[in-house]
């Protein structure tokens, strides 16, 4: 069965869904997107979409700032997405990409307000984004994370991602797996598509959103389970770059990256360079949770009856 997407108000085969080259969002990044995971549970043969409502709440917040008006509520966006995933029938992990964009076919820097808006959502089979066992080699980027005075960094605005992609490119070309961006004051902000946590002195520490980090849904999930399931103290505070070198553990969190261990930063080993015990504990619980295996957190999962047509 060919992948089904929702585009221009209806479900259609992926091959039929396209936009014109004059589309405003293509030229200026005037779009807001999300990354949502559908996690395949091989035991009960269902897909579990994780915290879909929170993703759509964040998308709609971005739409407000970008003056993208959609004819759908957050609940309707969730329903469209669930139906699409059902129609695709993937019996494997998937990544769901909704995008709300300025679809007006006009090439000019204009007042956003009256420009036409559209919404599309698609799903692709998607395994691990980064290695979940071998700890990542990270570097501090020479690019700084965008400030709210430039483009709001708390929202997933497409144009903002040029910043992440420049940092990722620089890191990979220099032989690293991932970049860590600092903000204008030199404090650690986050990865290119992940939030960052450091375990140090018995506490889990993550930069506050005020240091230009995206308020990540995985960040929130991991903070919750660290506190409530493992009794850890979770602190939001500035992290100077060099403090990372002294951490007992560092890991990255994100919908795509799940919970990815960091083994070194700027060629300084983090402890022995392997995944640490706190990271492993959190990662194990997180994987069970996102596959609908932890009854206490099942309310975060939308179960989709997949028809097993395209394993």
Q: Output 11 or 154, the one with its CB closest to ligand PMP.
A: 154
Measure the CA–CA gap between 195 and 211, rounded to whole angstroms. 11
Cβ at position 257, least distance to ligand PMP in Å: 7
Positions marked catalytic: 156
Measure the CA–CA gap between 282 and 218, rounded to whole angstroms. 11
Let me know: does 196 contact 206? Beta carbons within 8 Å.
Answer: yes
Alpha-carbon torsion 64, 65, 69, 70, what sign?
negative
Determine, following the binding rule CB under 6 A, whether residue 214 of this chain makes contact with ligand PMP: yes
Reported as half-sphere exposure (CB side, CA atoms, 13 A), residue 184 has a value of 7
Determine, following the binding rule CB under 6 A, whether residue 164 of this chain makes contact with ligand PMP: yes
Contact string (CB under 6 A) for ligand PMP, positions 82-121, x = contact: ----------------------------------------
Residues 242-261 that bind ligand PMP (CB under 6 A): 253-255
Determine, following the binding rule CB under 6 A, whether residue 146 of this chain makes contact with ligand PMP: no
Residue 254's closest CA among 107, 145, 156, 120?
156
Q: Output 157 or 275, the one with its CB closest to ligand PMP.
A: 157
Cβ at position 238, least distance to ligand PMP in Å: 17
Determine, following the binding rule CB under 6 A, whether residue 35 of this chain makes contact with ligand PMP: yes
Determine, following the binding rule CB under 6 A, whether residue 141 of this chain makes contact with ligand PMP: no
Query: CA 15 → CA 7, 11, 12, 151, 225, distances in Å?
Result: 11, 12, 8, 33, 41
Determine, following the binding rule CB under 6 A, whether residue 194 of this chain makes contact with ligand PMP: yes
Q: Which stretch binds ligand PMP (CB under 6 A): 126-134, 215-223, 230-238, 265-273?
A: 215-223
Angle between helices 52-66 and 217-230 (to 10 degrees): 140
Measure the CA–CA gap between 285 and 230, rounded to whole angstroms. 10
Q: Output 104 or 190, the one with its CB closest to ligand PMP.
A: 190
Determine, following the binding rule CB under 6 A, whether residue 217 of this chain makes contact with ligand PMP: yes
Number of shown-chain residues binding ligand PMP (CB under 6 A): 15
End-to-end CA distance of the chain: 10
- Applying CB under 6 A, among 38, 62, 89, 193 the residue interacting with ligand PMP is 193
- Applying CB under 6 A, among 47, 118, 140, 195 the residue interacting with ligand PMP is 195
Task: Name residues whose C-beta falls within 8 Å of residue 252's C-beta, 6 or more positions apart in sequence.
Answer: 130, 136, 178, 191, 194, 195, 196, 197, 259, 260, 262
Let me know: does 127 contact 94? Beta carbons within 8 Å.
Answer: no
The residues that touch ligand PMP, with contacts defined as CB under 6 A, are 35, 156, 164, 190, 193-195, 214, 216-219, 253-255
């Amino acid at each position: 069965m060919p992948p089904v997407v929702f585009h221009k108000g209806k479900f259609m085969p992926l091959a039929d869904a396209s936009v014109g080259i004059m589309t405003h969002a293509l030229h200026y990044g005037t779009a807001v997107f999300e990354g949502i995971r559908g996690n395949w549970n091989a035991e009960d043969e269902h897909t579990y979409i994780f915290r879909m409502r929170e993703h759509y709440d964040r998308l709609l917040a971005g739409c407000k700032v970008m003056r993208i008006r959609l004819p759908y509520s957050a609940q309707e966006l969730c329903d469209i997405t669930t139906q699409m995933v059902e129609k695709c029938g993937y019996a494997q992990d998937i990544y769901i990409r909704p995008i709300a964009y300025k679809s007006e076919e006009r090439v000019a820097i204009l007042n956003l307000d009256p420009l036409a808006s559209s919404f599309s959502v698609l799903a692709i089979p998607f395994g691990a984004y980064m290695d979940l066992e071998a700890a990542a080699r990270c570097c501090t980027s020479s690019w700084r994370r965008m400030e709210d005075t430039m483009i709001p960094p708390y929202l997933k605005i497409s144009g903002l991602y040029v910043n992440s992609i420049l940092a990722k490119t620089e890191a990979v070309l220099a032989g690293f797996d991932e970049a860590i961006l600092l903000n204008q004051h030199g404090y650690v902000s986050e990865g290119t598509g992940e939030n960052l946590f450091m375990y140090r002195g018995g506490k889990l520490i993550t930069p506050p959103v005020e240091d230009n980090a995206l308020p990540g849904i995985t960040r929130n999930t991991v903070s919750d389970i660290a506190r409530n399931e493992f009794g850890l103290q979770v602190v939001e505070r500035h992290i100077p770059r060099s403090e990372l070198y002294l951490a007992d553990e560092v890991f990255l969190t994100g919908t795509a990256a799940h919970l990815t261990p960091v083994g070194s930063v700027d060629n300084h080993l983090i402890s022995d360079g392997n995944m640490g015990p706190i990271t492993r504990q959190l990662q194990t619980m997180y994987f069970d949770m996102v596959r609908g295996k932890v009854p206490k957190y099942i309310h975060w999962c939308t179960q989709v009856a997949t028809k097993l047509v395209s394993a």
